[in-house]
Amino acid sequence: METINKFRALVKKIKAYVYVLQLCGWDSNTEAPRGSFPRRAEMLGEISKVLFQLQTEQSTQDVVNELYSKREELDPLLRREVEKAKKDLDKVIKIPEDEFVEYQKIIQLAQISWQDAKEKSDFEIFKPSLQQIFDYNKKFVGYFNTGMKPYDVMLDDYEEGMTMVEFDAFFNVLRNELVPFVKEVLKVKPERKDDFILAFYDKENQEKFCDYLIDVLAFDRDRGLMKKSVHPFTWNTSPEDVRFTTRYLENFVFSSIFAAIHELGHATYEQQIDPKWNDTLLNGGTSMGIHESQSRFYENTIGRSLEFWQVHYPKFQELFPEQTKDVSVEDFYKAVNKVEASFIRVEADELTYPMHIMVRYEIEKMLFNEEVKVEELPTLWNKMMVEYLGIEPKNDAEGVLQDVHWSSGLIGYFPTYVLGSAYAAQFYHTMKKELNIDEIISNNEIKKINLWLKEKIHQYGSSKSPRELLLEVTGEDFNPMYYVDYLKEKYTKLYLE
Amino acid sequence: METINKFRALVKKIKAYVYVLQLCGWDSNTEAPRGSFPRRAEMLGEISKVLFQLQTEQSTQDVVNELYSKREELDPLLRREVEKAKKDLDKVIKIPEDEFVEYQKIIQLAQISWQDAKEKSDFEIFKPSLQQIFDYNKKFVGYFNTGMKPYDVMLDDYEEGMTMVEFDAFFNVLRNELVPFVKEVLKVKPERKDDFILAFYDKENQEKFCDYLIDVLAFDRDRGLMKKSVHPFTWNTSPEDVRFTTRYLENFVFSSIFAAIHELGHATYEQQIDPKWNDTLLNGGTSMGIHESQSRFYENTIGRSLEFWQVHYPKFQELFPEQTKDVSVEDFYKAVNKVEASFIRVEADELTYPMHIMVRYEIEKMLFNEEVKVEELPTLWNKMMVEYLGIEPKNDAEGVLQDVHWSSGLIGYFPTYVLGSAYAAQFYHTMKKELNIDEIISNNEIKKINLWLKEKIHQYGSSKSPRELLLEVTGEDFNPMYYVDYLKEKYTKLYLE
């Protein structure tokens, strides 16, 4: 009992440090003046050092290890917390300090070499850094002694319980079912009115429309806010303070709208978590995949539906009468669901998106498993793009160099993006049995959908694993066919009927 | 030497904690959603507790006391730091903990009773809190054993080196010289075009004009920014990160303009401090009075000058053509310098402002010296308003209850506001000998004034005391006649010629 109290006090203290660092991070990402960063790095360095000491000092290890050794006797929720704490602790203390420091330096330099390589579209510049990042991660994985295969350790880091066995099965379904379907869709070239997409839309009115969407999605303004930033993101410390950003491109209005809806999905998840988890390690969304399932559900399933735009297109037209004067709501609906084979993942549409992820997953897996050499990546990448999407990147910048992830050491992260869409489709399948979703959207009552998700998923924070949630909400284990069926149904109607 | 190193490391660590707390404060005051505050209080409470421990623990006391005992041998700058550290430390550790905690509670409750009292315009509601606040402060002062008179300790807290002797002399000059002058000015009721002041000015264009002023005053956007808040303020962590706010009232455009210029004055001071003081206790502006001298110099001397508006009024007219169509730059200039006897300090003009402060200073002093009882304040207040400005408040809300200061425990703070104006006039007198200020303003080269102030005042941070700065910059000790002369000259031209 005394150890449990110590654990609770420790968790709370650590959370307080994380809280202030998070707030500084929000400031850094949304408004801090450029000149403030060197001083900031120094000051936050001091605080991070104290936090690191607190997280790793002997007394902390003793508390965590003692509870871990008695985990069988603990209440299941406390046990889940202790297991998380033990996993996090091991990740830090099992890596020799000099290697950890060395790796941080490698990551710093990799950022620069990646930017440079991307700018010059020359993979050779980034190659040595990429090699080091994979080498170090393989070495680190070895220290953890999890008994898992190396790449599985990476995958499990971003999505608890998902390993190559599950992802291979998942991506095989997508490969078999979607690749031929996508090719069929891409063959159709319907005449559509969509030049209005790229017209000039002023930022002030885009911002007004995104502000309007906040209420459409029933986001609680008392416990959050919207701001702008270069890269849209969601930020939260607890359900009482959830913020998100979007960005305003004057020549591509969809960017602000769908970034806002996407981030509102993440933000709604965080706002609806029960605050009772605040002082535990079970706060926050349960995994990358489940988080992404929420953002993509709001963005694609709701935000790109005809029903949605039938209600909200008039508001959009009111703000942009000139740009939309000959554009019907059906034209608009078709434009927001336009399918195209394209090189850049972040600009890809809902249907071709999974192809982009499959390329990355296959390459990461082969690289981690030493089935391919770093120098072969550009060729392999381009070959797979041809295989999945029928197009070949003209250079490394629009190919293997496009994403920031690997240069930041994020290996095993990509698959969660598509996994999120697949989870979303499976949840959606269940939701449709209990709610008349089209009617809800048509009546502008999205709050009802929020409440369903709160009750079934959101409230639990990370007290349940992704797999538990899937089982409890949908009555079955992960089944990617819901995703395949959802995409086929939607895009058959849009392109093949 | 080892103790000095310990001192340096300690100062840096404390600064890092203060840094993150300051950033959280900026967020709280400018954008944090309402619902986030309870959780925030809890999290910041944890961090503040750690900081308090760090500031007061035995090892900290040992370091400070050891250096203090050897202060005669230290380098003068280090000695100044150590003396500051010792003073701050004593303030905290000499007050018995239970009394300190009790006082915090009193302050919390006083905020509420003051708000309530102000709303109902009933001094009786606030009276018990006010009594307690003065009682506790008198008791605390007794613990410090400074050998100073009690109210002098309070005054010195806000303005190093200023005691009742100095303030009495200062305010006697103002009473003798300005009270009759103000009465003379108030008798004149010139016919002036000034109804345009209260026209409707949209916030967007007000914001554009304030943004324009940022460059006019040559504020460095790379190391700062402007935002909005309910009460305008300047915030800074170091010269590399200085931010300020203004507020936009659609029916009183002067509010945003002069708040912006005022805060730009504070902000310019902070931006121009030499960053070499960052890791010392000699960073930041040297005193409230010197700080206020800068903000009031920019706001009143520059920002309310005819030369200033001759250059910038066209921009203002461009943004507000309708509201200003029959208004000449001379009309505008006269309107921004309109003198009126009014009840509310924060709305007072440059000339009547010192009268408001004199009322507060006299009352604080008498109360601290037990020459008046708390219950007599409303009557005393109103009597003095009649004496100095010839008007009598109709109720406590527009009289003794108007300011937040006393309910927050800020006693001895008010006089620094006017002291700032008087310092400003003395610096201005010297500056005019070295710079052609009218020409500089007319040529839109305020940067030159900034540089003069940087060289003479700003760069030193708080490594020099207010008195040292006055002596070194102007060649004489504090002399309030420059202030009297400045006001008489300006307002004779505006009203009596």
- Give the per-residue pLDDT at A1: 85
DSSP single-letter state for residue B375: G
Residue B309: helix, strand or coil by DSSP?
helix
Please compute the mean of the pLDDT values over residues B107-114 and round it to a whole number: 93
CA of A41: which chain B residue's CA is closest?
B16
Cβ–Cβ contacts within 10 Å for residue A38, how many? 11
Whether A36 and B278 lie within 8 Å, measured CB to CB: no
CA distance A121 to A133: 20
CA distance B48 to A325: 57
Question: Residue A245 forms beta bridges with which residues?
Answer: A227
Cβ–Cβ contacts within 10 Å for residue A374, how many? 18
Degrees (nearest 5) of the Cα angle A74, A163, A284? 50
CA of A224: which chain B residue's CA is closest?
B33
Please compute the mean of the pLDDT values over residues B169-181 and round it to a whole number: 97
Scanning the structure block, which residue is given the tokens 């939260």? A236
CA distance B227 to chain A (A): 10
Query: CA nearest A235: which of B31, B21, B42?
Result: B31
Q: Do B267 and B298 form a contact (C-beta atoms < 8 A)?
A: no
Q: Do A246 and A259 form a contact (C-beta atoms < 8 A)?
A: yes
DSSP B182-208: HHHHHH-------GGGGS---HHHHHH
Whether A220 and B19 lie within 8 Å, measured CB to CB: no
Please compute the mean of the pLDDT values over residues B211-224 and round it to a whole number: 98
> Which residue numbers of B are catalytic?
263
Q: Is A223 on the interface with B (CB under 8 A)?
A: yes
Q: Is A19 on the interface with B (CB under 8 A)?
A: yes
CA distance B115 to B404: 9
CA distance B447 to A493: 65
Q: Which residues, 6+ apart, have CB-to-CB distance to A246 below 8 Å?
A: A210, A226, A228, A232, A255, A256, A259, A260, A263
Structure tokens at B52: 């308090």
Q: Which amino acid is at B106?
A: I
Structure tokens at B400: 């003794």
Residue B12 burial by Cβ neighbours in a 10 Å radius (0-12, 13-18, 19+): middle
Scanning the structure block, which residue is given the tokens 């002036």? B192
Residue A93 burial by Cβ neighbours in a 10 Å radius (0-12, 13-18, 19+): middle
Which residues of chain A are within 8 Å of residue B43 when distances are taken between CB atoms?
15-16, 19-20, 237
Structure tokens at B179: 């009270």
Whether A237 and B39 lie within 8 Å, measured CB to CB: yes
Catalytic one among A160, A263, A299, A398?
A: A263
Which residues of chain B are within 8 Å of residue A12 when distances are taken between CB atoms?
46
Which residues of chain A are within 8 Å of residue B15 when distances are taken between CB atoms?
43, 46
- Specify the pairing of strand B224-228 against strand B234-238: unpaired
Starting at the edge strand that comes first in sequence, how are the strands of the sheet with A224-228 ordered?
Answer: A224-228, A241-246, A234-238
CA of A204: which chain B residue's CA is closest?
B204
Confidence of residue B228 (pLDDT cuts 50, 70, 90): very high
Question: In chain B, positions 132-171, which contact chain A (CB-CB < 8 Å)?
Answer: none
Report residue B305: phi and psi, to 5°: -90, 155
Tens digits of residue pLDDT in B47-69: 999 999 999 999 999 999 999 99
Tens digits of residue pLDDT in A318-337: 999 999 999 999 999 999 99
Whether B35 and A223 lie within 8 Å, measured CB to CB: yes
Whether A20 and B12 lie within 8 Å, measured CB to CB: no
Tens digits of residue pLDDT in B371-396: 999 999 999 999 999 999 999 999 99
Q: Is A23 on the interface with B (CB under 8 A)?
A: yes
Q: How far is CA B73 from the centre of its chain?
A: 35
Q: Is A237 on the interface with B (CB under 8 A)?
A: yes
- Give the per-residue pLDDT at B146: 81
- Give the per-residue pLDDT at A97: 87
Question: In chain A, positions 28-47, which contact chain B (CB-CB < 8 Å)?
Answer: 31-36, 38-40, 43-47
Question: Residue B245 forms beta bridges with which residues?
Answer: B227
Tens digits of residue pLDDT in B399-419: 999 999 999 999 999 999 999
Whole-number percent of chain B with pLDDT over 70? 100
Which residues of chain A are within 8 Å of residue B27 when distances are taken between CB atoms?
23, 26-27
Query: Number of CB pairs < 8 Å for A and B?
Result: 116
CA distance B47 to chain A (A): 6
- Specify the pairing of strand A241-246 against strand A224-228: parallel
CA distance A226 to chain B (A): 10
CA distance A467 to A249: 38
Whether A238 and B39 lie within 8 Å, measured CB to CB: yes
- Give the per-residue pLDDT at A144: 87
Of B23, B220, B224, the CB nearest to A23: B23
Confidence of residue B145 (pLDDT cuts 50, 70, 90): confident
Q: Tally the residues of chain B.
A: 497
Which residues of chain B are within 8 Å of residue A227 when distances are taken between CB atoms?
31
- Give the per-residue pLDDT at B144: 87
- Specify the pairing of strand A234-238 against strand B224-228: unpaired
Whether B237 and A43 lie within 8 Å, measured CB to CB: yes
Question: In chain A, positions 456-485, which contact chain B (CB-CB < 8 Å)?
Answer: none
Report residue B141: phi and psi, to 5°: -55, -40
Q: Is B274 on the interface with A (CB under 8 A)?
A: no
CA of B17: which chain A residue's CA is closest?
A47
CA distance A235 to A53: 25
Tens digits of residue pLDDT in A295-307: 999 999 999 999 9
Residue A439 burial by Cβ neighbours in a 10 Å radius (0-12, 13-18, 19+): exposed
Q: Is B27 on the interface with A (CB under 8 A)?
A: yes
Please compute the mean of the pLDDT values over residues B458-486 and round it to a whole number: 97
CA distance A315 to A206: 11
CA distance B45 to chain A (A): 8
Q: Is A202 on the interface with B (CB under 8 A)?
A: no
Q: Is A21 on the interface with B (CB under 8 A)?
A: yes
Q: Do B276 and B304 form a contact (C-beta atoms < 8 A)?
A: no
- Give the per-residue pLDDT at B1: 85
CA distance B201 to chain A (A): 18
Of B19, B50, B243, the CB nearest to A43: B19
Whether A31 and B225 lie within 8 Å, measured CB to CB: yes
- Give the per-residue pLDDT at A57: 96
**Which portions of chain A are predicted below pLDDT 50?**
none
Residue A235: helix, strand or coil by DSSP?
strand
Which residues of chain B are within 8 Å of residue A33 when distances are taken between CB atoms?
221-225, 240-241, 243
DSSP single-letter state for residue B475: S
